[in-house]
Amino acid sequence: MDPEEKKYSVSEKFHAPNADVIIRSSDNMHFHIHRKYLEANTGAFPPSEFETGKDEVVALTESSVTLELLFSFIYPQRYPELEDVPFEIIEPLAEAAEKYEVFSAMYICHLRMKDFIPTNPTEVLSYACRHDYPLVISAAAEVAIALPLAESVRLMPPYLVMPWILYVDAWMKVYRNVQEASTHLDYGHTLFFIDQNANDCCGEWAHTVLSPISKRLVVGYSALGNLDALFSVKPTRDCCCNALTDCKEMIEREVKTIPKFKHFISNYK
């Protein structure tokens, strides 16, 4: 046996004897596919290497898991359910759908990618920027604002850099408002978080609430991108709990005044 020849398996789902294209996944599974469906339902399939002889096996870089889902979108059949499919499978499927322009899969995958914004904001933002899905970008922006500016701006395509800077500027204004307001607020604990050395009436406020929140706010506006993390402190006294709730609600109200990122995109066009 040719040592170069790797063992392969054949897809249980795609093995029709009259198929005229054989595609091999990165993990050596063969898919027997009908060229007519590839041509009818995709924009970039078959790529140029498919023009080789009929018996040639075309090796792709995607895994068998990705390709089996992807090919399910090119045949005249019900599309696979992707509701409970995890991010680790959806992301490469979404990328493959874009690469080969499998339009039906592109549509479903971009909606599924949006669902993963809370858990994978950077990856979703990067995907949405690269493939130009403004609504996903806008939805991911609210989470991505918690990233350092150097990191978030790097994810943006050139045409979104200016809207992103204006969006960040709106967050910085709110950040300054919050700082300004906090210096004048008195919750029975004297100043909120600006002056840790102020004479507070309640020792717990300074140590349990003021100190950790002030440290988290040092990073700047991006701290407002994740208010749950910012306010993740656990005072025990009622006075501190109530003051903490008031502070958080005040900042939430301020943050809600910031327009959506899509507003900045459309304004800058």
Q: Which position among 45, 116, 171, 205 is part of the footprint of Zn ion (CB under 5 A)? A: 205
Q: Half-sphere exposure of residue 200, counting CA atoms within 13 Å on the CB side?
A: 24
Q: Using alpha carbons only, how large is the chain's radius of gyration in Å?
A: 26
Q: Which position among 202, 206, 210, 224 is part of the footprint of Zn ion (CB under 5 A)? A: 202
CB-nearer residue toward Zn ion: 193 or 261: 193
**x/- site string to Zn ion, residues 233 to 252, per CB under 5 A?**
----x-xx------------
Alpha carbon of 108 to those of 46, 72, 134, 166: distances in Å? 21, 13, 15, 31
Least separation, in Å, of the C-beta of 175 and Zn ion? Answer: 25
**Choices 100-108, 170-178, 202-210, 256-264; region in contact with Zn ion by CB under 5 A:** 202-210
Under a CB-based contact definition with an 8 Å cutoff, are residues 153 and 161 in contact?
yes
Amino acid identity for residue 268 in this structure: Y
Tell me the site size for Zn ion, rule CB under 5 A: 5
Kind plus residue range of the DSSP H or E element containing 24: strand 21-24
Sign of CA dihedral 116, 259, 131, 40: positive
Least separation, in Å, of the C-beta of 241 and Zn ion? Answer: 8
**Choices 20-28, 137-145, 159-167, 204-212; region in contact with Zn ion by CB under 5 A:** 204-212
Q: Nearest to Zn ion by Cβ — which residue? A: 202
Least separation, in Å, of the C-beta of 189 and Zn ion? Answer: 6
Under a CB-based contact definition with an 8 Å cutoff, are residues 25 and 33 in contact?
no
Least separation, in Å, of the C-beta of 235 and Zn ion? Answer: 7
Does 116 contact Zn ion by CB under 5 A? no
Sheet with 9-15, side-by-side order of all strands: 9-15, 29-33, 21-24, 57-59
CB-nearer residue toward Zn ion: 72 or 190: 190
Least separation, in Å, of the C-beta of 201 and Zn ion? Answer: 7
Query: What is residue 52's three-state secondary structure?
Result: coil
CB-nearer residue toward Zn ion: 240 or 265: 240
- Give me the residues that bind Zn ion (CB under 5 A), please: 202, 205, 237, 239-240
